Amino acid sequence: MESRRKFLTHLGTVIGLMSGAGWWHRLAAQSVRMYPLSIPELDAGGERVRVATVGMGIMGFQDTHSVVKVPGVELVGVADLYDGRLRRAKEVFGDRIITTRDYRELIARNDVDAVMIATADLWHNTVAIDALKAGKAVYCEKPMVQHLDQGAGVISAQQQTGHPLQVGSQRVSSVLYAQAKKLYEAGEIGELNLVRAYIDRHDALGAWQYSIPPDASPQTIDFNTFLKDTP
C-alpha cells in the first residue's frame, strides 16, 4: 500500500517530465553538453493504478497520452461536456474506456485511483475537492483555482483527506528547465544575471484559438454546465 501511495505521489512529476519530452529531444540534437536527470522511480507494488481524466481538450489529451505511457497505469475513463471529444477519446484510447459528461460518475467509481483535471479553470477547485473527498489522488492543471479565495477550500480538502494533490506546471517541471538548472550548477552558463522564458505562438492554432466545432449544438455540448456560476 505504501509503494502504491508513493507511486501516486510521484506520478504527477513524471507527467510533467514526459509532457516536455519534445523539448528534450530538440535540445539533445544540439551541441549542448547534457547532464543526467533524475526521474522518480515508480513502483505500484505490482498493482494496476487506474486513472480518469476530466476535461479532454488540448491538455487533457496531452496529459492522458503521457500518463498511459507509464508502466502500471491504466486509463479507466474520461469526462467532457462535448460529445465530439468523448468520441475522439474512444478512437484514441480504445472503446473499453468509459465516457461521460458527468465527472461525478468517474470519481464515484471504486476502480478509479487517481483523477487528472484539465477542465476550464473555473471548474478546477470544484472537481479537485470532489475527487479528494471521494478518496482519489489528484493531478490538476494550472492554475489550481481561478480565484484566489477558492484556494483555501482545495488546500483544506487535501489536508483533511491526506490524498496526494499536485498542480501541473509542465514548463516549470519540464526536462528543458531541469537541464538548464544542471548546466548552471555545472558552471557551463557562468554568472547568471537574467532569465527570460517564453513560448512563441505565431498563429491561431499556436495561440490555442480554435473554431467552434461544426456539429456544435445544445444537443452535443452542455454549455450551461460549462458556464458553472459565471454571469
The pLDDT tens digits for 69-95 are: 988 999 999 999 999 999 999 999 999
**Domain of 217, in residue numbers:** 2-182+202-227
Q: Confidence class of residue 23 from pLDDT cuts 50, 70 and 90? A: very low
In a domain, 13, yes or no: yes
Task: Check which CATH number belongs to the domain holding 36 and give it.
Answer: 3.40.50.720
Task: Give the chain's domain count.
Answer: 1
For the entire predicted model, the pTM comes to 0.77
In a domain, 43, yes or no: yes
Between 200 and 72, whose confidence is greater? Answer: 72
In a domain, 192, yes or no: no
The Cα 98–Cα 86 span in angstroms is 9
